[in-house]
Structure 1
Amino acid sequence: MKTPLSYVFDNDHPEAADRHGQLPAILDEFTIARLSSLGDLTGLRCLETGAGGGSIADWLARATGPSGRVLATDVNTRHLPPSPSYDVLVHDLEKDPVPDGPWDVIHARLVLLHLPGREAVLRRLASALAPGGALVLEDFETTFRKLVLAAPSPQAAELVDLYHELLVERVLPAHGNDPTWAGRVPAAMLEAGLTDVDTVIHSRSWPGGTAGALLIAANIAQAREDFLAAGMTEAQLAELGRLVADPRLLVRGHFTYSTIGRRPSA
């Protein structure tokens, strides 16, 4: 019997808290701008899947107000605050039915690219929308090279390039991740019957010591054995840990594709 693929960035890992601190710093401003583009959210029913540390669920709770409803789900909710301003549900997007809706807004950030059954999940989420409701999917597109914008040495740049190459070609695919998924979401939404499909692509630079660079260290910490199995050495991993804190390093964040599609009103 085939062993199920495991999620590479498990919330039970001791380093997971670092990721849940860095990802909001990298992405929340962009995500909030995209959700705000949907219009007034007051009173709406919102489903936040793969809620992580809950920063976007918390923002949605404030945006929808007391007359709205926000449900935050994750396969492991341990990083959500103990008394959140929204409802919480332990939930597996691939195995469990979509929580009862219908939903006016469904948001998933850095979730579907990790799920082998991502196309089927997208269709189920689209079907759970209320008429006129919006599905907002945000994922990294990691196949683009040239991550290093500046480095303290050519050898340092080569080391970051090696990390990125192994992450995209070996580490993530071994756990069911599809680095090309973000660019395929618009077509998948249209095939699922959604309309007004719109994608905005975001990225910016991050010097060593800031969230976008330190995410490299968090990735290595959580997938250390995978990187070693892919051919990196302990010395290389240690050097990367030092390098991502060096302000002379300047990296480009992964391109984030934010795609919105709406269920037809009639």
Structure 2
Amino acid sequence: MSADYGYAFGDDEAARRRLELVDAVFSPTSRTFLAQLGERYGAPQLAVDLGCGIGRTTRMLHEATGAERTVGLDASGDAIHEASRHTTGSLEFLTHDLSEDPLPIAHVDVLYGRLVLTHLAEPAARLQAWSEHLAAGGVLAVEEIAATDADHPALADHLGVVADLLAASGRDLHAGARLPSEVPPLRVAVDTTAEVRADAPTAARMFRMNLPGLARSAGTLDDGGALLARVQALDAPLGAVVERDEAGTVTWTLRHLALERA
């Protein structure tokens, strides 16, 4: 999703490069989660990636589940254009704002989203709305941050700024901790947590790529001056972490939630 649709991290070339880093850090855990769903439900006819960005998660979803057809949805036309450059006959990408109903596709066997609900207001309502697009026996699966921990002050400061910026626009960095496990008429199939870790230089590179998008988002807030100053103050310490190869770790606790339609 682009900044215009509530995505705080921006929609430019740096933001898309950041998505490549995010994918490298998070995808091993995501593939395990999706493979487990594949073992439970078999290969779906239709899988949909909610908030697909430049398409890396869409390809992962397609490969991990063995879906016959996989569709990626994102509000960013630029991201969809980039994703569509490398499509095959079984992959498709459509521009769609996930805060709006209905989705442009129905009777879905697997609806999947990674780190997307944190950028949407009322995530529980989004789950409820998306559930209506599942086929009988379909599953809605999400990975969302439930907690974060950083043992380096520059990284902890960045996470604090992101949390405050999201909260200022009615969103939640730790949306995973507050997702409901009951979304009628769906029933819980999986509700677990998994940890993802990155060393300090890797996290700092990823976080530093956030800064232009965070600055633009802070600038849209009526009282965003203090947040903007905090964003701007992050650049030098994050750069130092990278340049000096400083020690430290960031740990994200992800909630893996899979809800199935009877």
The one-character-per-residue Cα deviations of 1:132-183 (angstroms, maximum 9, x if unpaired) are 21111111234x4x411xxxxxxxx333333322221x21212332134202
The residue that corresponds to 1:200 in the other structure is 192
2:29 matched to which residue of 1? 30
SS at 1:178 equivalent: coil
Alignment match, 1:182? 176
Give distance in 2, aligned partners of 1:216 and 1:261: 31
Greater helix share, structure number = 2
Partner of 1:263: 261
Aligned to 1:82: 85
CA distance 1:62–1:191, change in 2 (3 Å): closer
The structure whose Rg is larger is 1
Residue 218 of structure 1 is aligned with which of 183, 188, 209?
Answer: 209
Are 1:162 and 2:157 counterparts? yes
The code of the aligned residue for 1:52 comes to G
Asked if the contact 1:17/1:79 (under 8 Å) is kept, the reply is: no
Within the alignment, does 1:93 sit opposite 2:92 as a pair?
no
State yes or no: 1:147 paired with 2:150.
yes
Distance 1:254 1:59, change over 3 A: closer
Q: Which moved more, 1:133-142 or 1:238-247?
A: 238-247
- Normalised by the length of structure 1, the TM-score is 0.81
User: Helix, strand or coil for the counterpart of 2:182?
Assistant: helix
Q: Secondary structure at 2:13's aligned position in 1?
A: coil
Q: Could you tell me which runs of 5 or more consecutive residues in structure 2 were left unpaired when the two chains were aligned.
A: 219-223
- In structure 1, runs of 5+ residues without a counterpart are 149-156
Counterpart Cα distance in 2 of 1:252 and 1:209: 10
SS of corresponding position for 1:249: coil
Q: Which amino acid aligns with 1:222?
A: G
User: 109, 116, 119: which is aligned to 2:114?
Assistant: 109
Q: CA deviation at 1:221?
A: 3.4
Give, in angstroms, the shift of residue 89 of structure 1: 0.7
Q: Deviations over 1:79-111 (max 9, x none)?
A: 414131301110111224122321110001111
Q: 1:259 to 1:249 in 2, by over 3 A?
A: same
> SS state of the match for residue 28, structure 1?
helix
Letter in 1 for 2:186: L
Partner of 2:221: none
Residue matched to 2:6: 6
Q: CA deviation at 1:58?
A: 1.4
Structure 1 pair 75–24 and aligned structure 2 pair: CA distance change class (3 A): same
Q: CA RMSD in A?
A: 2.6
Distance 1:228 1:140, change over 3 A: farther
Does structure 2 conserve the Cα–Cα contact (< 8 Å) formed by 1:228 and 1:234? no
Alignment counterpart, residue 209 of structure 1, candidates 181, 201, 207: 201
Q: Deviations over 1:58-83 (max 9, x none)?
A: 13334565x81211110012441413
Counterpart residue number, 1:58: 59
Report deviation, 1:262: 0.8
- SS of the equivalent of 2:255 reads strand
Deviations 1:8-41 (A, max 9, x none): 1232x23212221111111111111111112354
The within-5 A match list for 1:230-241 is: 230=227, 231-232=229-230, 234=232, 236-241=234-239
Q: Please give the TM-score of this superposition, normalised by the length of structure 2.
A: 0.82
Paired residues of 2:204 and 2:238 also in contact (CA < 8 A):
no
